[in-house]
Amino acid sequence: MTDRHIHAADSASAPRHGELTGMPVEFTAFCELHRPRYLSYARVWFREPGEAAEVVRLALHALAEVWPEVLGSPNPAAAAWEILRATVADRHTPAAPAGIRPGSADEDLAILHYVVGLATPEIADVVGGDTANIVSQLRHSRRPGGREW
């Protein structure tokens, strides 16, 4: 793990007392592992830390509602990442930042690598992808004409 993302203990989105009680230990462990990286990603799209934390909280609540199905899916990390992406896109306003909207999966990988500072194995863990495929997609995102982050 890098030090560039928000650590769980420092996170404004850490569970409040009584929040998501009764969830299986697997869910709690999943949230502890992924919440800091999710928050770092959300902070790219929401300038106010409280707003980014709220979006992550909403995404984790949405994940909790479908946790048994997600856990039984072939790739729980990928399913959870899509819930986060959808929550970010739903809550994002076109005015922030710089008028761009959450976009493609390739852009997300570039954000996680170049802005958040995650190494490719960490990105693979967060998005539920294959490290070699992520390396290839990151190379593609650096080609001329790609978006500057």
Q: Is 15 left (phi over 0), alpha (psi -120 to 50) or beta?
A: beta
A 10 A CB-CB count for 79 gives 18
pTM metric for this prediction: 0.78
Helix axes 76-91, 120-127, angle to 10 degrees: 80
Q: What is the pLDDT of residue 36?
A: 96
Angle at 79 between CA 74 and CA 81, to 5 degrees: 140
3-state secondary structure of 44: helix
Give the torsion sign (CA, 88, 108, 9, 26). positive
The answer to whether domain 8-141 has CATH 1.20.140 is yes
Phi, psi (rounded to 5 degrees) for 94: -60, -20
What pLDDT digit, counting tens, does each position of 68-114 carry? 999 999 999 999 999 999 999 998 865 544 545 566 788 899 999 99
What pLDDT digit, counting tens, does each position of 22-55 carry? 889 999 999 999 999 999 999 999 888 899 999 9
- Split at pLDDT 50, 70, 90, the class of 141 is confident
Indicate whether 8 pLDDT > 50.
no
- Write down the mean pLDDT value for the chain: 82
